[in-house]
Amino acid sequence: MTSLTIPSRGIAARGLAAAALALSLAACAGSGPGAPSTAAAPNKDALVALNDTFRASYRDLRKWRIDTLDPILVVQFDDLHLVRNGQTRTETFTPPIYHEFKAIAHIPLALYVKLARVPERPFDRAVLDWLTAYMKQVQAADASLDGRPGWTAEQLRLHRKIVADSLAFMEKIGAAEQVSDAQLTAYTRAMRPLVLASADAAAKAQLDGLHALVTKWRAELGPRWSHVDVVVLGPKQPRPGNVQYEYFRRAMGPGAEGRRLWYAEGVFDKDGGLNLLGTILVDRGASIAFFDDPKRLERDLLADAARKHLDRMFPRR
């Protein structure tokens, strides 16, 4: 999965040649709204004022690039945003059952993260109190499962198995007031196939919801679908195999990654995702204008110079 590959689509190098060579330095451009005045403020250093003008111009170009894209889809976890002509439509595609499955599947992980630092030592009062309270929460969750809409008999059996085995484990270690490494590992390994089966059901529920919404909007877009840009928001840690990203990678076909499909790592709001997309396109245009290489500004502009100076500072022996 990549956010930065393949040349920009139709960005004329001449039109971007005026962009400053430091476009690769994200901090220089900033992401805040509004543009500073090009007139130097009283007592402001002339070079600071000069760079402020660059940053304002960068933001203007980035906004223009975003505004020229039509349509854009931004995937924000459970929600899908359709951006067209400055207007945004938002619908939730993840069904409640996805979160219900996940809540039960998190029971083993909750126990692991609570107990991972205390094996082979007697539980203190805080751990014992936590176990007692958590057992009550798990029991209450179990009692709430009957009659939940959308659950099949097999899904109910699977998640009740996770609950029952987890309660038995908690009762055992609570009575002993201690857990060994071997006991904790045995429990987590026994939970693995159950948690993975729950993950299968959750992934299907989320993908079915996403596909239904995309199919509806794709029909509305008609020929414009072939021009859609998709930005998937998400954290760093689960990035490989991200469910929504993988869906669009297949739905959009070969060649979409890094050209019309983007992963916004560490970005969690729609506007941040749009800003990242605009930044990528501006930087690619500047890369072509200055270096005839759309990928050059994906590396730090100072990288080559820094490497040469570091070689002098730390010569190889």
Q: Residue 297 and residue 284: Cα distance in Å, rounded?
A: 7
CB atoms within 10 A of CB 264: 23
pLDDT (mean) for 228-238: 90
Token pair in block for residue 115: 């107990």
Residue 175 has pLDDT above 80, yes or no: yes
Token pair in block for residue 294: 């759309």
Average pLDDT, the chain: 89
Q: Residue 82 and residue 91: Cα distance in Å, rounded?
A: 9
- Under DSSP, is residue 79 helix (H, G, I), strand (E, B) or coil? strand
Residues 70-91 pLDDT 10s: 999 999 999 999 999 889 999 9
pTM, full prediction: 0.83
Left, alpha or beta for 240 (phi > 0: left; psi -120 to 50: alpha)?
beta
Model confidence at 13, pLDDT cuts 50, 70, 90, reads: very low
Q: What percent of the chain has pLDDT over 90?
A: 82
Residues 273-315 pLDDT 10s: 999 999 999 999 999 999 999 999 999 999 999 999 999 999 9
Q: Residue 119: what pLDDT?
A: 82
pLDDT (mean) for 214-218: 99
Q: Residue 276 and residue 66: Cα distance in Å, rounded?
A: 10
| Diameter over CA atoms, the chain | 75
User: What do you get for the CA distance between the two ends of the chain, in Å?
Assistant: 37
The set of residues, in sequence order, having a beta carbon less than 8 Å from that of 251 and lying 6+ positions away, is 211, 214
Residue 55 has pLDDT above 90, yes or no: yes
Residue 120 has pLDDT above 90, yes or no: no
Q: What is the CA radius of gyration of the chain?
A: 26
Token pair in block for residue 105: 């599947």
Residue 67 has pLDDT above 90, yes or no: yes
Cα 196 to chain centroid distance, Å, stands at 21
Q: Which of 25, 67, 18, 28 is nearest to 51 (CA)?
A: 28
